[in-house]
Amino acid sequence: MTNLPVELRGQLSEHFSLELPAVKERTAPAPDGSQKYLFTLTDGALIESVYMPMRDRTSICVSSQAGCAVGCTFCVTGFFGGGRNLQPSEIVGQYRVIREEHNLSPEQINIVFMGMGEPLLNYDALVDSLETLYLEIAPKRMTVSTSGIIPGIEDLAALDRRPNLAVSINAPDAKRREEIMPITRKYPLSELMAALRNFPLDHGRFITAEYVLIREFNDSPEDARLLARLLRGVQAKVNLIPLNEDANLPAWMKRPEDERIDRFADALTRERVPITVRRSKGRDIAAACGQLRGKTDRKRKAST
């Protein structure tokens, strides 16, 4: 903008940027249309997003951190360890790139903060991002997923406008949850459930309990009944997610057979717990957190 004074241009360039995340790699569309994006940020950090078209809506999954320090053992992002917080522009930028590439109108889009990182450990940037996105997308079409950061959940509860809340539960008892989610030691499962019972919900909205099914670890019908008991008093629906296997995960972590998934789902249904089952969307494109970055890093290591 050469019509502005040089000094002012220097100040603007020091404090503001119009750059969007650069697409380093995008997968070919899966049979269901899903695509995974690997973005490079200005400092070289790598983050991931996912484009997931559905019948009448499209979900865009965005990252909030370049890495994750929470250390869930079933998550490839956790395998690579912590990374820096993203700026609000880097979070919203993922949405803008994917929206423009696929020629989407905001009315078609749901945003889910389920990519790399723990959104509630980057709370200020998360809230700034939500407020920017609210200019185009209603709060009821936004979902923030957390591993169970209780202070962040309480801060979200105090907002005037709140996104949907999804919480990774992944085990029906504290002992097993701590085995795969070390964050349980800092934020105990009993205290997390109390925070969820106190979370304010508008009419017709639910908290989503995310539950990654791992073969012969947390996937029996008895585990389903224990999960239903754990969720009593929480207006929740359960999203069952069969494990996305990856070479970076412990060798014992396997995806359950479809029959075991069905038995678990049936047991929850009999307990009158609303459920959805994520069957296959994204499996062909390594859509689980960190998997595309994991493949890229392995290729890079193999070539050095």
**Percentage of the chain modeled with pLDDT above 70:** 91
Length of the chain: 304
Res. 124: pLDDT tops 50: yes
Q: Residue 298 pLDDT > 60, yes or no?
A: no
pLDDT at residue 242 greater than cutoff 70: yes
Q: 165 in helix, strand or coil?
A: strand
Ordered DSSP codes for 1-25: -TTS-HHHHHHHHHH---PPPEEEE
User: Which residues make Cβ contacts (< 8 Å) with residue 139, sequence separation at least 6?
Assistant: 130, 161, 162, 163, 164
Give the span between the Cα atoms of 159 and 146, in whole angstroms. Answer: 16
Domains along the chain with CATH numbers: 18-303 (3.20.20.70)
| Structure confidence by residue, pLDDT tens digits, 90-103 | 999 999 999 999 99
Output the average pLDDT for the chain.
91
Biggest alpha carbon–alpha carbon distance for the chain:
70
Identity of residue 22: A
User: 278: pLDDT confidence band, cut at 50, 70 and 90?
Assistant: confident
Predicted local distance difference test score (pLDDT) of residue 76: 84
User: Once rounded to an integer, what is the mean pLDDT over residues 27-40?
Assistant: 94
Evaluate whether 98 touches 60 at the Cβ level (below 8 Å): yes
Contact 290, 76 (CB under 8 A): yes
Is residue 118 within 8 Å of 147, Cβ to Cβ? yes
- pLDDT bracket for residue 304 (50, 70, 90): very low
Question: Residue 16: its pLDDT value, please?
Answer: 85
Q: For 202-223, what is each residue's pLDDT tens digit?
A: 999 999 999 999 999 999 999 9
Pairing outcome for strands 142-146 and 207-213? unpaired
Condensed to tens digits (0 to 9), the pLDDT of residues 155-204 reads: 999 999 999 999 999 999 999 999 999 999 999 999 999 999 999 999 99
Residue 297 has pLDDT above 70, yes or no: no
* Rg, Å, the chain Cα set: 20
Which residues form the catalytic set? 48, 289
State residue 67 phi and psi, 5-degree precision. Answer: 115, -175
Measure CA of the first residue to CA of the last residue in the chain; give whole Å.
43
